[in-house]
Structure 1
Amino acid sequence: MPDDGPKVAKPKSKISASRRLSLKILLLTRATEQLEAEKAAREEEKVRHLGESVPPLQLTGLQLEELQTFCKEIHSKIDKVDEERYDFEAKVIKNNKDIHELNRKIADMGGKFKKPALRKVRVSADEMLKALFGSKSKGNMDLRANLKSVKKEDTKQEKELTVEVGDWRKNVEAMSGMEGRKKMFDA
């Protein structure tokens, strides 16, 4: 294989392979420690939030009426939480649609989307009018009716013209001058 040009040498890194490997290991251990710390913080936040919003139940020693009012309060809280959950789901769905639409616009702007080639389709004038105007088109459009009709000249006249040509001298004398030219154009 012939050389396409001068080869560009990769610059050697100033860090040795063993040092690079040890740095990677340190970075990975640090990242895993941070992930574990984040998980622990989330769990603590979850426990704290549940402790604030849902106090522990104390049902011992309550009368029937007190239990009924307590159940009604719990049902109203459940309804409120369900409404909030539904609102959040609607927001998430809307945001996902917006993200999808923006990604599509970015792809269109980048020119990565190719428009498909259009197929050639034969369509009559009537079908085209129906497609353009729907059922509102008035009657059918006969394009051939608008063309002029052309009558063919009789073949007898052509034969007579060929018979007249017989003697060329007579023809030349008859056609000489302006009158002869006028006869040519009139015929």
Structure 2
Amino acid sequence: MTNFCFLLRKKMSSSRKHHLKSLMLSIAKGLLEEEEKEREQERIRYMAESCPPLSMPRSMQELLELCREIHHKIDVIDEERYDLEMKVSKSNKEIDDLKIKVQDLMGKFKKPVLRKVRMSADAMLKALLGSKHTVNLDLRANLKQVKKEVKEEDKELRDVGDWKKMFEAEA
């Protein structure tokens, strides 16, 4: 099937694609018909094996013998049915137990909700590398020291804020 899909991906005329699809469908139809015939033959063989043709008894003794035989076959079939039911119920119970185990395992390994954590670079490396981490990364030490220059505009703004203090001092 993958080869067919590969063929369809190549540039191919629509009539060619249609022809290939119809060929595949005809082959699949033939295979399905063969399978159906095999199933029917298997069913006929099983019925002939399990249910021999019925011969009607002519006397009372033969009739009683036939009834006993039929009851015995019914008992055998009931035992087989009971055994199969027990196997199915046991398998269903095992499946349910396995499902519960899978759910438990999924619960144990549930992804935790990640939270934002403030962590320095040193702490992060220490958490990731463990005791191997010995180098301290002080990122602030590598920065240039810049002195702040106070601009004249900032002084004027401060002076404007100080007028209230000056006014109170004069009063």
**TM-score, structure 2 normalization:** 0.47
**TM-score, structure 1 normalization:** 0.44
Higher relative contact order (CA 8 A, sep 6+): 2
| The structure with more helix, counted as a fraction of residues | 2
Higher-Rg structure is: 1
